Structure 1
Amino acid sequence: MVFSHVWPVMSDRTEQVRNNPIGEALHAVRSTFKSLCDDIDTPCSPAALDQLARKDLRSLTLALLVVLQGHRLSTSLLPKTNQLLQRSHGIIQSSLLRLISAVALDDFDFDRVKPLLREVVSEDVDELAVWNYAESAAAETTPPPRTPASSLQQTPWLHTTNSFVNSSEHRKYVDGILKQELGVVSVDVPGFQDAYFHRMAGLQAASLDFFDLSRQGDDPLFRDGWKGWPHAANEADVLRWLKGIVQELSEFGIARRPSSTHSRRLLVEPNQPIQGSTAERKLDVGLVRHVDGRCESNVHWQDVLVPGELKRNPSADTISKAWLDLGRYAREVFASQDNRRFVLGFTLCGSLMRIWAFDRLGAIASKPFDINHDGLQFVITMLGFLWMDEKALGFDPRCRTADGEQFIEVNRHEAVERIILEDVILRPRCIVGRATTCWKAHPEGHPETQLVVKESWQYPERDVEGEFLEEATNKGVANVARYYHHETAQFDGADDDIRSNVRRGLDITAGHQPVPRRTVGPEIRANASNIGQKRTSSQRASVLPPNKRSRSTSPIKHASPARPSPNRVRRLVILRDYGRHIYNASSPAVLLASLAHAVEGHRSLLDLGLLHRDISINNILIDEHSGSAFLIDLDLAVRLHRQTASGAQGKTGTRAFMAIGALLNEPHSFTHDLESFFWVLFWICIHYGPNGKDIGTTAFEHWNYEDDDKLAVSKQGVVADEADFLETAQRHFTAHYQPLIPLVNQLRRVVFPNGRRRRQPDLDLYSSMVQILRSVEDNSEVLE
């Protein structure tokens, strides 16, 4: 689309451009154009643009857009009044970043930017027209540029609560991400109660007997509703009533099954924080393990079996109210119980009850029922929760205990081998996702052989990590964790997956998928919003506007049609190498040497034809006893020769460490991973003191919650200007890592030449980074 040269503009906008000229920065672009014209022996005029090859147009356009994106006006320019461009909010930096990504694609239409290029290469440049044309081209992004399937397999990416790093997990931030994590919630799923409850032997008959007894006598427990039910549904009154009825059910259940070993009670301490949370969390109601001799109010999330959520009004039976609250509790249960496959729960809104199941794909729920109209269903539900064995409650039957030791058994070399699980070393804090859990372990009878057992829930179409690690080990790849064994976890004689095993084959597409009320994300203010933004001389902190989202006035809408449900399978990998996370390095010198080892390991994988794609502080381990460091976690690795994408397109990595281009949805390359190594070092220097001591929440916490475009702009702002970068480092690096500021700046220069992210792959970047990281080996000040 070609736009007219004439725009009605605000006089203030004209004044802005006059007072903030691009000036000499355009000279380099014009010089590039002249060189391109000389190469094809054509006069250097705007008409020559039509004779340039696509690759030359791309080089020229990128050079110009980088100049504009880094200019102070990209974050402060007032909007135009032209109706065609009324979508502009005046801040075009993030749009320019998206345009830069679009220009790099093979199918980009350069007619979109030719008016801009003609203005820049003309004899008499009108800078106001330059900005108008740039904004027009950047605004033409509906729909966003499509990233084609590439030789690098793109995989689904979820912004989940497990991606938080050094976070306070404040509720106002967590809730928005948790909604995204849960995605499409399926409610009113047919057959839900049958799948999770009616398979229990004797439950139906016992429930009928209890309900019949409840309706007998002159003062029955149930007559047109439950006796004593508080119709105002005040929390305290409902809890008091629930405690009484569950106690009666418990006594009935014990009499009916005197040999039962389950010891459970109803927790009714809504004002008492539950132990084990990062941020303070309380639980309205729930079934918990009864531990003899422990104070009833002293409860840990490890003890919670079935969380519940109470609301006074049935209208609160929505995703933004009761459902989200229950999801928050389910997340805490998963985070505290390393052998949990799924979590059952319930919501009680007034007298309206739903039963829920949370798993690594999301959440599904039964149809609601009124406990005063369907008293039998209430009895089946609560007695079922009291009677369920741990397998039915979602615990992994593979994890067993003998002689005080927890163990699993694997089939290795055609024989059963028992692996002793010593300690949990990584536990996910999320509901949905791979939910990687790791244990320090050893083979039974061989405690001297240190192993790491890793379990995760993978999309079945994903490459098998264990096969990658086995190949890497067999071919001598350096500085990557060595392979021991891998398999798909079994459950009741079949591969353990979500659709068939956890969800019992339920057809969730037959339920409803409510569309949640969309809310405005948290507006992160104060200094946190300003970090990484390009600053003018008069305004040293420019703040991006809050993300504006639409609101629906209806609490529940039904999405139609429902899409087929995805699936996840549980895979097990056992590694021979054990280490500590890189942020636990005993000195800055050890940190740098370990990072150099990891970069070399990444290159070694690349030489094998594998790209890691998830560089983070949790995926680089160090063993200071042997002086080694190594990469782990090839869950998201891909073979470079693959020509098709695996189903859903998406982004890959841990947000705080993702490369700017990856955040902007570029096909993932090794350059993105090398940039992630830089962000790992930058993050550690800000968040950790000696021996891995976490200093707590910092001004960079918002990187866990910002949307991708804003995070990309924040990161670009951190590295764009050397003086600004040094100021940021001096202000935020811990005292322990202050001596590394010059070296980190050197690394910034090679990873981001001229303050800009790399757009072309360069294998020499590996050796350049390693050389800088090893340059302090003889520096006594840093070695201390």
Structure 2
Amino acid sequence: MNMEDLKEALSGELEGSVFVNVISFWDKYFESERMKVERDILTKKYAELCADPKFKFPAVPTEDAVWKWMKVIENDLFQASRDPKDLAATDSIERYGHAFTGSQFHTLAAGQIIGNQAKRQVDYFIKRRDLPIENEHHWSDILVVGELTISSSKVFRQKFLQLSVYMLEVFMAQPLRRFVHGFILFERDLQLWVYDRSGPYSCSYIDIGKSPEKLVHVLVTYMLMNDEELGLEPNVKYNDNGMVVHLKVPRSGEPRMITLDPKPISQQKAYLCRGTSCYVATNSSCVVKFSWRICDSISEIELLEKADSIAGMVRIIGSLDLVKISQLREGLIFTKTMVKNLCPTENVMNTPHDYSGEIKRIPKESVNNQLGRKRKSEALQAEKEVASSSKRAKSVQECR
């Protein structure tokens, strides 16, 4: 499937699930106390150096010019912020309690990222700083994705859907990912995004022309984030033997360690879905399934426990509830007026939507790409209660 086909498919899948101008977005993701010292040192140093032509944000923000400026921020600003007495310390972790965990990359041609559904060129992404430097990259290593354009935000739909295709690639390569950070820089207007399994949501536009230090703040924060802040699943660990999870044995609640082959034997291909993925134990003794579920419904685990004595049924030997979307979105405020219409301008109906300002619940369950727009619209209209996040929880279960 080519890029345009993927964008149009995602347009239908995402309709009604995209929120913009979400309240408290900046405070939640970019004012972390954990990295405040390191972030403040770097942003204050930029304020001192911003008149230097090397550190000045490009007057004509072409993709190439902005990319070079971003690498200056990563490399030269970091070096300039070091105390002279610490210059002997070559490793960044010797300078700061929390070192940069990520490094910035981009591709120069389509096909340089392995694992694509279709070959594509990516303007900006962050990977772990300790990975080997290679000409090829893999979606399984990508932590943050960005889109750069010299065009104004009038091309929002096109660039947003392009970013969404990249996010789909990340979730396909990292099916256990809780959420992914991303951004779009329209000329000098910056829009920050987070994608989780209930849909994408963003902050208001930030004018980088007036406040380039804001973009420095964002880039530094991305590169300082730890695994949990980047949306990786903290309950899953990796070692030389594979992927390790600890589940609770039914009734006793005793922990049980399982080592899995990190390559899933089955996974859902959509973005807005339960994100179900299955992994086989390295000793082939069982299969472990990860999936998002609706919080107020009977879980599959409960049903399997009730059916434990039925011949021919799979037997559950361990499970664990991991996290709820409401926990991931805690502190954020979503309202009905924040829902973004993704229809092309020429296809927007003349009858306006009711933007009364009433606060509206985010859909209980994300839907896959086979759910029609009509059903999705009806589901949205039915949700009128006050809420700030989806009632969805991620669980893992082990069966044999």
Q: How far apart, CA to CA, are the structure 2 residues paired with 1:464 and 1:243?
A: 47
Paired AA for residue 352 in structure 1 = D
Q: Deviations over 1:437-466 (max 9, x none)?
A: 111026xxxx3x611110111122332112
Is residue 2 of structure 2 the alignment partner of residue 173 of structure 1?
A: no
Partner residue of 1:461 out of 291, 296, 309: 296
Match of 1:300 in 2: 138
**Amino acid in structure 2 at the alignment position of 1:208:** D
Q: Deviations over 1:17-56 (max 9, x none)?
A: xxxxxxxxxxxxxxxxxxxxxxxxxxxxxxxxxxxxxxxx
Partner of 1:712: none
Partner of residue 503, structure 1:
329
Residues 286 and 308 in structure 1, CA contact (< 8 A), matched pair in contact too: yes
Residues 313 and 173 (structure 1 numbering): CA distance in 2 closer, same or farther, change over 3 Å? closer
Matched, 1:311 2:149: yes
Partner of 2:45: 213
Decide whether the 8 Å contact of 1:407 with 1:420 is kept in 2.
yes
Q: Please state if 1:431 is matched with 2:266.
A: no
Distance 1:460 1:226, change over 3 A: farther
Q: Who is 1:552 aligned against?
A: 348
Task: Provide the rounded CA distance (Å) in 2 between the counterparts of 1:362 and 1:327.
Answer: 10
Residues 398 and 337 from structure 1, CA distance in 2 versus in 1: closer, same or farther, beyond 3 angstroms? same
Please identify which structure carries the higher helix content: 1
Hey, what's the Cα distance between the residues in 1 that align with 2:66 and 2:128? 21
The aligned runs of 1:351-366 (5 Å cut-off) are 351-366=188-203
Give 1:379 shift. Answer: 2.4
SS in 2 for 1:344: strand
Structure 1 position 553, deviation (Å) = 9.7
Residue in structure 1 matched with residue 340 of structure 2 by the alignment = 514
Q: Secondary structure at the match of 2:347?
A: coil
Shift of 1:193: 1.5
Structure 2 unmatched runs, 5+: 83-91, 365-389
| Change beyond 3 A, Cα 1:179–1:305 | same
Distance 1:298 1:241, change over 3 A: same
1:546-579 deviation line (CA, Å, top 9, x unaligned): xxxx61399x999554521232111222110xxx
Kindly state the Cα deviation for residue 362 of structure 1 after the two structures are TM-superposed. 0.2
1:272–1:308 CA distance, 2 compared to 1 (3 A): same
Shift, 1:245, TM fit: 2.1
Deviations 1:161-199 (A, max 9, x none): xxxxxxxx3323221221222233111111112111222
- 1:335 deviates by 0.8
TM-score normalized by the length of structure 2: 0.80
1:370 lines up with 2:207 in the alignment: yes
Per the alignment, do residues 267 and 411 of structure 1 end up closer, same or farther by CA in structure 2, a change over 3 Å counting? same
Distance 1:396 1:377 in 2: 28
Once the 2 structures are TM-superposed, how far is the Cα of residue 325 of structure 1 from its aligned partner?
A: 1.2
SS at match of 1:339: coil
Equivalent in the alignment of 1:326? 163
CA distance in 1, matches of 2:315, 2:67: 53
Contact 1:512 1:559 (C-alpha < 8 Å) held by counterparts: no
CA contact (8 A) 1:249 1:383 kept: no
Contact 1:358 1:431 in 2 (8 A): no
Matched-pair contact (CA < 8 Å) for 2:54–2:69:
no
SS in 1 for 2:298: coil
Distance in 1 of aligned mates of 2:72 and 2:180: 24
SS in 2 for 1:208: helix
Task: Say whether the 8 Å CA contact 1:316–1:322 is kept in structure 2.
Answer: no
TM-score for both structures, normalised by structure 1:
0.42
Counterparts in 2 of 1:468 and 1:458: CA distance versus 1, 3 Å: same
Shift of 1:378: 1.9
2:261 corresponds in structure 1 to: 422
| Aligned 8 A contact 1:226 1:372 in 2 | no
Q: Where do 1:10-409 residues align within 5 Å?
A: 169-184=1-16, 185-203=18-36, 205-216=37-48, 220-222=49-51, 227-251=55-79, 252=81, 254=92, 257-260=95-98, 262-273=100-111, 274-290=113-129, 293-295=132-134, 297-316=135-154, 318=156, 320-402=157-239, 404-409=241-246
Q: Counterparts of 1:341 and 1:279 in 2: how far apart (Å)?
A: 24
Work out whether residues 46 and 77 of structure 2, in 8 Å CA contact, stay in contact via their aligned partners in 1. Answer: no
2:399 matched to which residue of 1?
Answer: 575
Report the Cα distance in structure 1 between the residues aligned to 2:269 and 2:154, rounded to whole angstroms. Answer: 26
Instruction: Specify whether residues 249 and 485 from structure 1 end up closer, same or farther in structure 2 by C-alpha distance, changes over 3 A only.
Output: same
Deviation at 1:401, TM superposition (A): 3.1
Shift of 1:317: 5.9
> Amino acid of the residue matched to residue 286 of structure 1?
F
Contact between 1:405 and 1:420, CA under 8 Å: does it hold in 2? yes
Tell me which protein shows more strand as a share of its residues.
2
Q: Distance in 2 between matches of 1:279 and 1:271?
A: 13
Task: State the SS of the aligned residue for 1:429.
Answer: coil
Q: Say if 1:364 and 1:508, in contact at 8 Å, map to a contact too.
A: no
The CA distance in 1 between the partners of 2:315 and 2:211, in whole Å, is: 57
Q: Return the letter of the residue paired with 2:320.
A: E
Counterparts of 1:237 and 1:170 in 2: how far apart (Å)?
Answer: 28
Give the AA of the match of 1:306: V
In structure 1, C-alpha distance between the alignment counterparts of 2:349 and 2:151, rounded to whole Å: 18
Q: Distance in 2 between matches of 1:259 and 1:221?
A: 25
Corresponding pairs, count: 356
User: Which ranges of structure 1 fall in alignment gaps of 5 or more residues?
Assistant: 1-168, 490-495, 520-549, 577-784
AA matched with 1:571: S
Q: After TM superposition, list the pairs within 5 Å mapping 1:526-565 onto structure 2.
A: 551-552=347-348, 559-560=355-356, 561=358, 563-565=360-362
Structure 2 match to 1:536: none
User: Residue in 2 aligned with 1:780?
Assistant: none
Q: Deviations over 1:298-317 (max 9, x none)?
A: 11111211000012122246
What letter corresponds to residue 180 of structure 1 in structure 2? G
1:505 is displaced (CA, Å) by 3.3
Distance 1:201-1:263 versus aligned 2 partners, 3 A rule: closer
- Residue 305 of structure 2: aligned partner: 470
Larger gyration radius, structure 1 or structure 2? 1
Q: Distance in 2 between matches of 1:293 and 1:208?
A: 29
Cα 1:265–1:188 change in 2 (3 A) is same
- Letter of the 1:575 counterpart: C
1:406, CA displacement in angstroms? 2.2
Tell me how far apart the structure 2 counterparts of residues 385 and 433 of structure 1 sit (CA, whole Å): 26
Would you say the 8 A contact 1:346–1:356 is kept in 2? yes
Secondary structure of the corresponding residue to residue 307 of structure 2 = helix
> Residue by residue, what CA displacement relative to the aligned partner does 1:573-602 show, whole Å, maximum 9, x if unpaired?
2110xxxxxxxxxxxxxxxxxxxxxxxxxx
CA contact (8 A) 2:101 2:226 kept: no
**Cα deviation, residue 291, structure 1:** 5.0
The structure-2 alpha-carbon separation of the partners of 1:226 and 1:330, relative to structure 1 and needing over 3 Å to count, comes to farther
Residue 320 of structure 2 is matched in structure 1 by 487
